[in-house]
Structure 1
Amino acid sequence: MPKAAVPHRSTSNPAPLAQHQRLALLRQLVNHDDVPLQDRVAALLVLLYAQPLTRIAQLGTDDVLHKDGEVLVRLGNPPSPVPAPFAGMLLDYLGQRPNAMTATNPDARWLFPGRRAGQPMTPETLELRLRRLAFPTQRGRTAAIRHLVLQAPAPVVARMLGYHDDTTAQLAAEAGGTWRHYAPGDHSRSP
């Protein structure tokens, strides 16, 4: 049998984007109308909420809530608010999702419907679409979660974004967060 060379793929986390790079990417996503809205919305979910493509692909239209003029996205509990320019983009996208009006997907409930009837777009397809835009998915996601755990207690971030408490606590410690001694729960009760 001839020798087979199996390429090595590193599983280590790449260095996150700097905050100014993350903000520049967010600005570009808002301002570049030449990029498909579908790709911009997926990239926003990565940069704002540190969501992996596997979870983004599984989001449904019912995970986007529009109540009293506020747009929320259900990633955990409670749903996370969507800031101003991105809320409009998300609502616009809901009204014009691709593959939602075809004979195979007339009642598609997926936020990112796939080509197969009743199936969401695969994470691999989302990754290819973002890679074509030279979007740094993993580095952007790492930057987003690190920024979030520096802004709020890790357990709060974990619940809102659907992460495990231990994961966000570890990320907060690595990022130098000051919320290490935060005790989640109801603090309004007297002892």
Structure 2
Amino acid sequence: MRCHPASAGRDLRRRVSVALDILVWMDQGGLALADLAQEHIDDWIAGATSQRRYLIRYFLKWTTSRRLTCELTVPSIPSQEPQDLLDDDDRWRLLQRCLTEDALPTAVGADGAITLLFGLSAERLRHLTPEHSKFGDKHVHLVLGRRPVLLPPRLAELLRQLAEQPQLRPQLSRTHPGPQWLVPGMVPGKPISTHGMTQQLNRHSIPVRTARNGALAALAADLPSPILADVTGMHRHTRSAGSPMPDATGPSTSPPGQE
């Protein structure tokens, strides 16, 4: 009789536990295995506080092989290593494209510009609603924390368009109304998933990780760490790209046309 190492047994138990977790989640949402779509998987993984849910790939491989579900993709576990930075020239060039290229979908232009300017994570970005934009007589501010952030006029206009565009609201979301997400997802009442938003930006040649790291590095050179932490939602002692957040302001990094 062959004995398996204790670590292999623990791994198998974790896989089974994760499979049970998603089955309970599906039961609570009234979902059958045959109804499981990519958007559901993305949303379930995005709601995790750890990387444990990525183990669902093994259960989904089994359900697919038995034709209990369609073919579903589980993204790779995010790397914990520091990512490359997008240099300032490339970042401003991409920002200009996000703000001026009419061929880009409105959501891609707005989300890309916010990533390139403020380094927001896709998780925070997907939860933006019209209430995060404060329109005044002359200026528009984005409220990300306690301190509103002044927006370039073109980005403000993109956010206004997103807030005003009609949204298809399935019957379920009409009977259980929730927030009006700037970028709604396929699941009724839910915003786009983190994975879906990242894929959408990457498809339009906006490299999310390097763009975000470049923005955070530039902001860290400009803003005191308490303000940077407030805007980005990061802890003030978090290191970005291997460098500590500074405690003193530096030179301005205004977006193109905003100096």
**Structure 1 Cα separation of the partners of residues 130 and 77 of structure 2:** 38
The alignment's C-alpha RMSD in Å is 2.6
Residues 1:102 and 2:169 are matched in the alignment: yes
Residues 1:75 and 2:164 are matched in the alignment: no
Please list every run of 5 or more consecutive structure 1 residues that lacks an aligned counterpart in the other structure. 1-6, 181-191
The code of the aligned residue for 1:150 comes to A
Displacement of 1:109? 1.3
Q: Deviations over 1:29-55 (max 9, x none)?
A: 122111111111111111111001011
Residue aligned with 1:78, SS: coil
Q: TM (normalized to structure 1)? A: 0.78
% identical aligned pairs: 23
Please list every run of 5 or more consecutive structure 2 residues that lacks an aligned counterpart in the other structure. 1-75, 250-259
Bigger relative CO (Cα 8 Å, ≥ 6 apart): 1
Displacement of 1:78? 1.2
Change (3 A) 1:116 1:171: closer
Displacement of 1:9? 6.8
CA contact (8 A) 1:77 1:162 kept: no
Equivalent in the alignment of 2:202: 131
Instruction: Determine which structure has more spread, i.e. the larger CA radius of gyration.
Output: 2
Displacement of 1:173? 7.9
CA contact (8 A) 2:126 2:193 kept: yes
Residue aligned with 1:147, SS: helix
Residues 1:63 and 2:135 are matched in the alignment: no
Equivalent in the alignment of 2:223: 152
Deviates more, 1:15-24 or 1:86-95: 86-95
Residues 1:50 and 2:119 are matched in the alignment: yes
Deviates more, 1:8-17 or 1:60-69: 8-17
Q: Deviations over 1:122-181 (max 9, x none)?
A: 1111111112112110000000011011112121221233222112xx34982795729x
Counterpart pick for 1:35 among 90, 104, 113: 104
